[in-house]
Amino acid sequence: MSEGDERRDHDPADMPPPDLAESLRDIGNTAKASLGAAADSARALRSLMAADLSLARTAAGRAAAFAGVAIVFGASAWLFLMATLVAFLHDMGLSWFMSMLIAAGLSLIVTAYAAWRTIHYFEHTRLQATRRQLARLGIGELADLMPTADSPQSARETAKDLRENGDALKTQRNGIDITPP
């Protein structure tokens, strides 16, 4: 039986503690390995972000080009559709003026709907949830107005109250109006 086999047969509590220098070497080697792994992870994340941003930049350019093509052909199709509608209404016995007025009214209804939806979707660009959470952590212009992170009070409800009672937002130290989240 070898010496290593004898060690395995003994209870670990019977083994003497490792030498201090050996323990420090082990800690140093572990720290170096951890730092190396963290550096490798950071490099991999940096490479991933660079590749992702490059892909996004290329995709954004191509998307803008195809959006332009879609707008041009969509607008021309809408013009042809409205011209056809005007001609159809005129053939049905309406005057040219009334036919064009109906086509213009239809275009205005679609425009108003699109503008309403645009305003709705631009509300999402205000980063409401992020601003609420940053304010709870004490960061940003709303930090004095929102509950702290350890508070059971809802940040969403507080923000809703701030939106409804906008007067409290105009009393800031620097005189700048604050848009609630």
**Pairwise CA distance, residues 166 & 140, whole Å:** 17
pTM of the model: 0.50
Structure confidence at residue 18 (pLDDT): 75
Structural domain containing residue 87: 20-126
pLDDT, one tens digit per residue, over 6-33 is 555 566 667 777 788 888 888 999 999 9
- Higher-confidence residue: 53 or 14? 53
Please name the residues in contact with 102: beta carbons below 8 A apart, sequence gap of 6 or more.
85, 86, 89, 94
Domain identity same for 106 and 137: no
Is 15 contained in some domain?
no
pLDDT, one tens digit per residue, over 55-106 is 888 988 999 999 999 999 999 999 999 999 999 999 999 999 999 999 999 9
Domain identity same for 94 and 165: no
Domain identity same for 122 and 132: no
CA separation, residue 83 to residues 13, 77, 96, 127 (Å): 94, 10, 11, 42
CA separation, residue 6 to residues 13, 15, 81, 128 (Å): 14, 11, 93, 66
Report the number of distinct structural domains present in the chain.
2
Domain identity same for 84 and 148: no
